[in-house]
Structure 1
């Protein structure tokens, strides 16, 4: 059993964020690798204050994760597809079941429920067409509730920016 005092949960509403919080979040979206010292200097705050702010933002869920984005060009040929999926049944349990089945798959980079049109749009990345065929078999063909799948294969990536827009950075 967890001790009441052992865990501090921060709830930070958007209205609780100040300009420095927003600027920290904005900077980290561009590059999450700077040290705490470097960020503190950049935003003219003390390192302990910077560390406290970042910890509060992380624990409140504003910072979901920090990742390294690899250069797809360096890895070699990859096949990226935007896939539209329509289901026969669209009740809440059927939508949830499909989402819970496809979201954990490593090839699925993004999964969106959409409306109107198809029920889901997925962004998938695989090594080649045989790998896409295996993915399609695993995620779509074996699911009796999948009615229609339409895949659009990327021939060139013109932009990739996983940035979330933040309100007014004065």
Structure 2
């Protein structure tokens, strides 16, 4: 990946994309006040430089609930018994590879990791806990908090142009 300088126009593009990545190139160019070819070239450059990791759709859990069930979202604190770099990296890689783990943060002070996990129901969460935590002899403590209501979910980064 090349190293690039990000200017105010790039920041406006990134801000618009994180709000709505489904915008056409034409609409995005109009919102940022640049030409469509310039817009396309800049977006390609930002992607190649790694500023845009990927583009995804954020699904509405309330609308999907009749089809999939509401499921359980849990914020889980994990404390390891030993915190050697190799042990931290091994745990992190193992949980990050699991589809039920939506987010994984290495944190300090306090627990070693905070995870956001999703399970279909409590038996599914128990299977997840067994698979990721109980079976790992280095996991000393697990503390789970179950979400009753999601009041806000905004994955965007505040950008100042």
> What is the CA distance between 1:43 and its match in structure 2?
2.0
* TM-score when normalising by structure 2: 0.94
> What is the CA distance between 1:44 and its match in structure 2?
2.2
> What is the CA distance between 1:165 and its match in structure 2?
2.0
CA distance in 2, matches of 1:42, 1:26: 11
2:45 aligned residue = 56
> What is the CA distance between 1:10 and its match in structure 2?
2.8
RMSD (Å), alpha carbons: 0.9
- What are the Cα deviations for residues 124-169 of structure 1, in whole angstroms up to 9, with x where unaligned? 0111101100000000011010011000000010000001122x32
Unmatched segments (≥5 aa) in structure 2: none
1:100 aligned residue = 93
Pairing partner for 2:3 from 8, 11, 32: 11
SS in 1 for 2:55: coil
Pairing partner for 2:105 from 100, 103, 112: 112
Unmatched segments (≥5 aa) in structure 1: 1-8
CA distance in 1, matches of 2:13, 2:86: 39
Query: How many residue pairs are counted as aligned between the two chains?
Result: 157
CA distance in 1, matches of 2:123, 2:76: 16
Q: Which runs of 4+ in 1 moved over 4 A?
A: none
1:75 aligned residue = 64
CA distance in 1, matches of 2:8, 2:2: 19
* TM-score when normalising by structure 1: 0.90
